[in-house]
Amino acid sequence: MRGTATLPASKSESNRVLILQALAGGGTLENLSDANDTQLMRRLLAHPEASVVDAEDAGTVMRFLTAYLAVTGRQVTLTGTARMCERPIGVLVDALRQLGAVIDYVDRQGYPPLRLRGWEPTESAPLQVRGDISSQFISALMMIGPLVPGGLQLQLTGHVGSRPYIQMTAELMRHFGADVEAGERTVRVGTRPYQPADYHVESDWSAASYWYSMVALAPSGSQVRLPGLRRQSLQGDQVVRHLMESLGVRTEFVADGVELHQLAPEERSSRVAMNFTDCPDLAQTIAVAAAATGVVVDMTGLESLRIKETDRIAALQTELAKVGATLTDIGDAVFQVKAADFRVADARIATYHDHRMAMAFAPLALRGPLTIDRPAVVRKSYPFFWEELRQAGFTLE
């Protein structure tokens, strides 16, 4: 397996800079993601007259727009898919209410849909915000901080997950002129207003993880070039380059991105421990690749996987069983992935309306034919994924 793969632009960066551009009132954004989540964000921001805003199944769109629509005083109903309306948002709504947002729950307390009825700002005391549900709540609040009278102070309580995404938000806010400091337990945002700025979005490290998995599973000597990735990246999922060394893939930075090289079998680990607290979107990719390569991985930091597009832990357990692997809770919040009798054998993989289930399992085609149900789910983050596989030599029907 040799060649160059085209990655989508970072969805995480794209969705943040779209909000920041709107709050700053201008700036040119280059290389925005083609992902459905980002295109949806663009469309919704472009129609301020809408009385109902549908975030569909996009978590960042729901969370970021809740804060953006509140601070801009929109009178609007914000809703989403049935699954989105099962994902909690009370932590964010409570914080916004303390800042002056007038928000009602349409149906169930603590969950979308939401009815936003304006903004009556007051200078607030420091807000306590739980960090163990979603860092997107924290990022959503941070981005509206310069518009809050007296600025914004957040005190993060409990375990703080996905911390690199908070740092990404802070760096992008600074790029647009904001005064922001993000520490271990506190975030401070000053009142210095945003300024229009231009920004070029990096390629997506989360999407790169599937190519790492393919190189790990491909025939000996395989290598793939991935343009558009930076050594000094804002994306937490860049850690995939370190995690995948245990599964047999070495990363070499080149002028326009990275090259992935397969290591010799003896250079792979037999058992490793990995913490996904700061990179939960890599968990599915690693679990599947570990099963296929025979590496036993003890996985921690998976708590947020229960409230993603699906219950990703349950989904992984069900689908890994189809290829002779297990994901077992061995206690102390540790899940162990292990393959006692790995085989693909025309397995049929369900995707649970989850783009990452489809793409995490797709590399198993290198070990035998398999079927991926509802493949169009990849439109959420990597809409041309299947075409890239075809160009890499896979046969798709």
356 labelled binding-site residue:
yes
Asked if residue 220 belongs to a known ligand binding site, the reply is: no
281 annotated among ligand-binding-site residues = yes
278 known member of a binding site: no
Task: Tell me: is residue 235 an annotated ligand-binding position.
Answer: no
DSSP state at residue 110: T
Is 87 among the annotated ligand-binding positions?
yes
Checking DSSP bridges between strand 223-227 and strand 257-262, what pairing results, if any?
antiparallel
Does 135 appear as a known binding residue? Answer: yes
Tokens 């085609």, residue?
A: 365
Catalytic-residue membership of 281: yes
d(CA 221, CA 250): 12
338 marked as part of a ligand binding site = no
DSSP letters, 203-242, are: BPHHHHHHHHHHHHHSPTT-EEEEET--SS-S-GGGGHHH
Q: What stretch of H or E contains 137?
A: helix 135-144
Q: Is 134 annotated in some ligand binding site?
A: yes
> Is the backbone peptide bond immediately before 113 cis, with ω within 30 degrees of 0?
yes
| Residue 209 assigned to a binding site | no
Residue 270 annotated as lining a ligand binding site: no
Catalytic option among 37, 54, 57, 281:
281
Nearest to 27 by CA among 192, 195, 180, 168: 195
Q: At what angle do helices 135-144 and 59-71 cross, to 10 degrees?
A: 30
Residue list, annotated binding site for 3-phosphoshikimate? 11-12, 16, 134-136, 162, 281, 308
Question: What residues form the annotated binding site?
Answer: 11-12, 16, 59, 87, 134-136, 162, 281, 308, 312, 356, 380
**Positions marked active-site:** 281
Q: Which residues are annotated as a binding site for phosphoenolpyruvate?
A: 11, 59, 87, 136, 312, 356, 380
